[in-house]
Structure 1
Amino acid sequence: MTLHIPFDNSYAALPPDFFARVSPVPVKAPSLIAFNADLAREIGIDGWDEADLAPVFGGNRVPDGASPLAQLYAGHQFGQYNPRLGDGRAVLLGETVGPDGIRRDIQLKGSGRTPFSRMGDGRAWLGPVLREYVVSEAMHALGVPTTRALAAVRTGEPVYRERPLPGAVLTRVAQSHLRVGTFQAIAATGDHDALQTLFDYAVARHYPDAADPALFLDAVMRRQAALVAQWLSLGFIHGVMNTDNCAISGETIDYGPCAFMDSYHPATVYSSIDRFGRYSYAAQADIIVWNMAQLASALLGLMPDPEAAVEPFTAQIHTMPEMIRSEWLKRFAAKIGISDPRAEDAQLITDLLALMEASETDFTNTFRGLIDGSARGLFADPTGFDQWSELWQKRLETEPDAASMMAQANPVLIPRNHRIEEMIAAAVEGDDTLFHRLNAAYAAPFEANEADADLRQPPRPEEVVTATFCGT
């Protein structure tokens, strides 16, 4: 049998200024680590043979129908604008329209230099590839809109960072790779027609009911508000919420220095390059508003009178914090068993979070422990928790399905940082056993499986991960 990918490439038909034509750079000895057969079928791929997979998803053979390219985009990186970023180590092979009717990109990440590489080698080392594979698939299982992982391949070649490390290529699937930074890059050219073309393409692909820039902006804002509230409800920290890492589709994209919190603290930062906490856990709600303001600025170029449009666009951006608060309340209310939250329930939630912060309790295990009664034992002094619990139980008197709701809102398992690091260390030595185990366990994150009890445990003091790193 022969691998068949039913490409239907629309982005490649856009004006050439939107991308650079480039093929993946072949590698020395591609060998398959993992292939996501369920996702392959979902996006319409069929007919594969084991021998097909490593050459195609390692970048050594461009499959029939592909139209490989590197996309252009700009971006604010930690608040500083860079007018020309683009895919410096990724190649979009093309798109498929799956049996479900959804159009998706298939992209190789770590596939070699492109015109946007900016002195980089265009490669990825094994650690970030496996991190993104495991965490993105776990996020999907948790119900979070996200890019997906289709394949991971060792290259048989070293990449050079602080030391030589094994190279790898990730195949990433997304509903698109359009970013806030894509709009910024095209808007910065001052080419109205090009910006209109991009806008029309994004509307047709993601928001067909958005007839004008204001409606489009509102639609993107609503998806982003829901997404970030969901991150917060899971203790997830993206780590690098630059505008080039903010997808128009409302999917989580780019799992560089990402992490899930162990002990709850709103100022938690893991990213080694986030020295001032710009992208801390709690700051994510503010940063997404800032990112949407940058999208609004880029869209001004579509308006008949851009200067006159500043005020209504600004007013529109100012509605977003309330969107996020509403989504946050809905998500956290479900975590404590409340189906139809009232405004005063926010205080009940924040009181619990304050108790968790004071006792440094584990975020995931505390919420899950509310179901079986084990949460109380996580608090150093349970007195405050007991007082809170009395109010909480009174509130649940009108919630007959509270336990069921909480079981669906509070995962048993998350990709814990120390387990991810353990997995990477083993894989560098050629042992992928833990990688495969984590993928299998995280595919059912809401199920309590005794065989995975060790994966529920927070890190011991010597296992605590205090910094995570970008893959470049």
Structure 2
Amino acid sequence: MQSLSSKEYKNEFVSTFDGDESGDLKPRQTPGVLYSKAIPTPVKQPTLLAWSEDLAKELGIQKPTNQKEVDILGGNHVTASMHPYAACYAGHQFGHWAGQLGDGRAITLGEWETAAGTTWEFQLKGAGPTPYSRRADGRAVLRSSVREYLMSEAMHYLSIPTTRALSLVATGDPVLRDMFYNGNAAFEPGAIVMRVAPSLLRFGNFEMPAARKETENLRKLVNWTIDRYYPHIQGEGEERVLAWFKEVVERTANLMVEWLRVGFVHGVMNTDNMSILGLTIDYGPYSFLDDYDPNFTPNTTDLPGRRYAFGKQASIAYWNLGCLASAVASLLPDTKALVETLEAYSDVFASKYLTMMGNKLGLDQVQAADTELIEQFEKVLSTIKPDMTIFYQLLIDFPLTIENEQDVWSHFQDSFYKDTESEEREAFYSLIKAYVARINKNTCSREESKKRMRASNPRFILRNYLLSQAIEELEKGENKLFIQLQEAIKEPYSSKFDEFFAKRPEWATKKAGCSMLSCSS
């Protein structure tokens, strides 16, 4: 185990690419470079609030034992081997080209190499202004930092590709925020998260040099990305780029399927929030589904169009991949093969989705006829809108001998948020009867079927109202719920934390931070 202060950090990105080394934090355009040097701005009193023991053990990091190491996590100390920088990238935001964006409140300190030889980027989120902060202060509040720290770790334990969070630090400084951009700004306690990932490269990193027609920068970035993160891809030139893009397509499709499996809604799927490694990145106005509503978006900024609603995420991923394809197109002699690779997304996603749904439902294998049953589930659930997590848990233990409509309804009663019409009850009963008939055709045992379902359907999810309660407690100096949630996220498929196995309470339906959030979240 090594301490944060004694480690010799690597800086492969900044040593490979041209950057603005002036250290000037004034907001500006930075053509021709892929990053700008950005030293974190010191805060009043860095205090360690949370530390991910499991991640630290995996990376071989010793928990901070003195203030100097906490200062690293809070941006008050930079070691001699670190080279802090903010990446320059662009993006399409809500479907529109936004031009240069970049790390506006995130600063990468360096790269931590483990004993096994793997390398992880260490990035502070909320460590102060950078040249890409535009009119912002580069800071983060406790509210958004708690949400990122807990959810990125929760997604890891759900077995969903994600960036990780090593630490959560209170800064001791107040930060002014207008949560819903409605003129009601208020001071909130500041905080910083140490974000960790093999790479934090986004689609937007490739869009920026492409838009500026910096073809050599783009080519160098693509080749470096393949060499470093896709070393199994062989060949050269067009063949190599296409093989890489094909894998990005597959990873992105897989990520969308995984989000849909657990009911996760990202909330702001701009191209600058899409990982080139197929990771979940940038935890802002996210949410898990409570009631099953494909049209649900947790992001007030996404209204009224609901571009990033739960049920639209797969198609938005395809749209974003199209933007990435446009960015790398200049590296190829023509776009025919690139377009064909992009178009394959639909089939890749559909195949992965059906397999995932088969596991959620406990099917031995997904046959052609099962597609209709899966579509029936989606249609009926989106009409009745039961609690997604609770419904699938009740489905696992549904006794296949029940035939009476009222008994079926009673079994799932705890998942319903509302009274239903007779037609809805009939549709639900028909669905369950069709499901039982299909399960009875399984070639595997009922216990094997349930095992698949338990592995695919989480019992604990980090609901927004729980996060809101934990944040309110932390702001009062209490951490009981926060600590409970830190433990609960580690065992989402068990019944160990069934005190949280409950529907969203009525009071949380319209409470800020529980039902709706914003990009400030």
- Structure 1 length normalisation: TM-score? 0.95
Partner of 1:372: 397
How many Å separate the matches in 2 of 1:6 and 1:396? 55
Q: Any unmatched runs of 5+ in structure 2? A: 20-32, 178-184, 399-409
Change in CA separation of 1:241 and 1:292 when aligned onto 2, cut-off 3 Å: same
Alignment partner of 1:425 is 2:453: no
Change in CA separation of 1:238 and 1:470 when aligned onto 2, cut-off 3 Å: same
How many Å separate the matches in 1 of 2:358 and 2:162? 23
Paired residues for 1:58-207 under 5 Å: 58-161=74-177, 162-207=185-230
How many Å separate the matches in 2 of 1:408 and 1:6? 40
Partner of 1:5: 7
- Structure 2 length normalisation: TM-score? 0.86
How many Å separate the matches in 1 of 2:455 and 2:63? 36
Over the matched positions of the two proteins, sequence identity in percent amounts to: 35
Letter in 2 for 1:103: T
Shift of 1:47: 7.0
Q: Which moved more, 1:58-67 or 1:285-294?
A: 58-67
Deviations 1:193-226 (A, max 9, x none): 1111101111012212334211111010000000
8 Å CA contact 1:355, 1:384 repeated in 2:
no
Partner of 1:458: 503
Letter in 2 for 1:269: T
How many Å separate the matches in 2 of 1:370 and 1:198? 47
Deviations 1:288-320 (A, max 9, x none): 0011111111111212x3xxx223322221110
Partner of 2:289: 261
Q: Which moved more, 1:84-93 or 1:56-65?
A: 56-65
8 Å CA contact 2:364, 2:442 repeated in 1:
no
Change in CA separation of 1:213 and 1:399 when aligned onto 2, cut-off 3 Å: farther
SS in 2 for 1:106: strand
Deviations 1:260-312 (A, max 9, x none): 00010111111111011110001001000011111111111212x3xxx2233
Alignment partner of 1:321 is 2:350: no
Shift of 1:6: 4.1
How many Å separate the matches in 2 of 1:317 and 1:22? 36
SS in 1 for 2:174: strand
How many Å separate the matches in 2 of 1:386 and 1:333? 15
How many Å separate the matches in 1 of 2:64 and 2:70? 11
Partner of 2:450: 403
SS in 2 for 1:273: helix
Aligned length: 466
Letter in 2 for 1:376: F
How many Å separate the matches in 2 of 1:175 and 1:272? 31
Deviations 1:348-372 (A, max 9, x none): 2221232222222110111111122
Shift of 1:65: 1.8
Q: Which moved more, 1:44-53 or 1:29-38?
A: 44-53
How many Å separate the matches in 2 of 1:29 and 1:174? 26
How many Å separate the matches in 2 of 1:463 and 1:413? 18
Structure 2 residue corresponding to 1:279, chosen from 297, 308, 318: 308
How many Å separate the matches in 1 of 2:458 and 2:357? 13
How many Å separate the matches in 1 of 2:48 and 2:300? 30
Shift of 1:461: 1.4
Structure 2 residue corresponding to 1:208, chosen from 231, 249, 265: 231
Alignment partner of 1:383 is 2:429: yes
Change in CA separation of 1:462 and 1:319 when aligned onto 2, cut-off 3 Å: same
8 Å CA contact 1:42, 1:99 repeated in 2:
no
SS in 1 for 2:442: helix
How many Å separate the matches in 2 of 1:37 and 1:341? 39
Partner of 1:15: 18
Alignment partner of 1:333 is 2:358: yes
SS in 1 for 2:440: helix
8 Å CA contact 1:125, 1:471 repeated in 2:
no
Shift of 1:426: 1.5
8 Å CA contact 1:264, 1:362 repeated in 2:
yes
Q: Which moved more, 1:184-193 or 1:252-261?
A: 184-193
Change in CA separation of 1:271 and 1:47 when aligned onto 2, cut-off 3 Å: closer
Q: Which moved more, 1:238-247 or 1:344-353?
A: 344-353
Change in CA separation of 1:230 and 1:375 when aligned onto 2, cut-off 3 Å: farther
Letter in 1 for 2:368: A
Shift of 1:189: 2.0
How many Å separate the matches in 2 of 1:124 and 1:349? 41
Change in CA separation of 1:386 and 1:297 when aligned onto 2, cut-off 3 Å: closer
8 Å CA contact 2:46, 2:70 repeated in 1:
yes
Alignment partner of 1:36 is 2:52: yes
Change in CA separation of 1:62 and 1:396 when aligned onto 2, cut-off 3 Å: same
Deviations 1:10-44 (A, max 9, x none): 11112221100111100011111111132123223
Partner of 2:181: none
How many Å separate the matches in 2 of 1:399 and 1:225? 30
SS in 2 for 1:361: coil
Letter in 2 for 1:171: M
8 Å CA contact 2:74, 2:192 repeated in 1:
yes
Q: Which moved more, 1:222-231 or 1:394-403?
A: 394-403
How many Å separate the matches in 2 of 1:50 and 1:35? 14
Which aligned runs of 4 or more in structure 1 are off by greater than 6 angstroms? Answer: none
8 Å CA contact 1:367, 1:375 repeated in 2:
no
SS in 1 for 2:441: helix
SS in 2 for 1:255: coil
8 Å CA contact 1:84, 1:185 repeated in 2:
yes
Q: Which moved more, 1:126-135 or 1:375-384?
A: 375-384
Change in CA separation of 1:386 and 1:286 when aligned onto 2, cut-off 3 Å: closer
8 Å CA contact 2:3, 2:61 repeated in 1:
no
8 Å CA contact 2:508, 2:515 repeated in 1:
no
Partner of 1:445: 492
8 Å CA contact 2:363, 2:439 repeated in 1:
no
Partner of 1:354: 379
Shift of 1:453: 2.0
8 Å CA contact 2:364, 2:443 repeated in 1:
no
8 Å CA contact 1:136, 1:149 repeated in 2:
yes
8 Å CA contact 1:69, 1:91 repeated in 2:
yes
Greater CA radius of gyration, 1 or 2?
Answer: 2
How many Å separate the matches in 2 of 1:339 and 1:294? 38
Partner of 1:238: 266
How many Å separate the matches in 1 of 2:311 and 2:451? 28
Q: Which moved more, 1:285-294 or 1:210-219?
A: 210-219
Shift of 1:174: 1.0
Cα RMSD (Å) of the superposition?
Answer: 1.8
8 Å CA contact 1:147, 1:252 repeated in 2:
yes
How many Å separate the matches in 2 of 1:391 and 1:269? 34
8 Å CA contact 1:6, 1:45 repeated in 2:
no
How many Å separate the matches in 1 of 2:364 and 2:274? 30
